[in-house]
Structure 1
Amino acid sequence: MSIKNKLKTLFAMDDEYEYIEEEVATSSSNNVIPATSNNVINLKSVKTSSSKVVLCEPRTFDEAQQIADNIVNKRTVVINLQRVEHYEAKRMIDFLSGTVYAVNGVIQRLGSQTFLCAPDNVDVSGSITEAFEEEFNKGW
């Protein structure tokens, strides 16, 4: 009998409890201690992908391809079309709408000439409505 067991029987009032010693095994790479539950995740092993938001202020329709490349590469793009001619801005939105549709993303108007293009890996919730909505719809 070990000293621990002798002391336990000496000071224990009730013998009905049984104590079992368990060894806790630790893996060599300092990961999570194995558990009976599958809910344990090592936070150091979780790889987070860095999300990027690209701000664009194009001046010509030729820059639409670069914006589309960002969307295809899973980056969220905010576009300010104030410096583009009205006709070219409409063409750009049409082109980018097709790109967003191709990647199952979403395009949303943020202001009178500002748009948000987000790929499918970004959740966009809510909407922005302002007094300029009537004015904007007349021109577009």
Structure 2
Amino acid sequence: MKKKFMGKVMDFIGLGEDEEELEFEDMEDDEEIEPYIPISNKGKIVNIQTNSNVKVVLVEPLSFNDAPQICDNLKNRKTIVVNLEKADHEEARKVFDFLNGAVYALDGKIQKIANGVFILAPNNVDILSEIGEEIKNKSLFNWPNK
């Protein structure tokens, strides 16, 4: 009884603990408060290129008129294998010079695979080669000197 009487007096004076306050304090301890993190809608979207988009194009140009289409494939980041063996000697030289200029302008790579066969790669593709030094030291074409 004494507790109830003293509790009432303390409550009346304002020094006692209210039951509602006790329950509220207990609830605060049980709950974890997560900080509010605003979500920004101004994020940047970055396109990540995957290897699923990689394509290799095989071409056998017979005339210089085929060269621009081959360069378009290179601009579209496609790797190209060019076989110039069936082309006329002069036409093959023109096509090769044109493609070599395009590879340079697009910061790509070109490498000989066999006599008259080359691989052209865009700047996002590395060409790894195990071709012997004898092929690397030979000229790209066996051009007759005039």
TM-score interval (norm. to shorter): 0.5 to 0.7
- Give the ranges of 4+ consecutive aligned residues of structure 1 lying more than 6 Å apart after TM superposition: none
Residue 81 of structure 1: aligned partner:
84
Aligned ranges for residues 1-140 of structure 1 at < 5 Å? 48-49=50-51, 50-129=53-132, 134=138, 137-139=141-143
Cα contact 2:84–2:92 (8 A) shared by 1: yes
Cα offset for 1:89? Answer: 0.7
Cα offset for 1:127? Answer: 4.5
Cα contact 2:60–2:84 (8 A) shared by 1: yes
Cα offset for 1:128? Answer: 2.2
The letter for the 2-side match of 1:73 is: N
Cα distance change of structure 1 residues 103 and 47 upon mapping to structure 2, 3 Å threshold: closer
RMSD, aligned α-carbons: 2.6
Choose between structure 1 and 2: higher helix proportion: 2
TM-score when normalising by structure 1: 0.60
Distance 2:49 2:120 in 1: 25
Distance 1:81 1:137 in 2: 10
Tell me the secondary structure at the aligned position of residue 79 of structure 1: strand
- Residues matched between the structures, number: 96
Distance 2:49 2:90 in 1: 43
Cα distance change of structure 1 residues 123 and 73 upon mapping to structure 2, 3 Å threshold: same
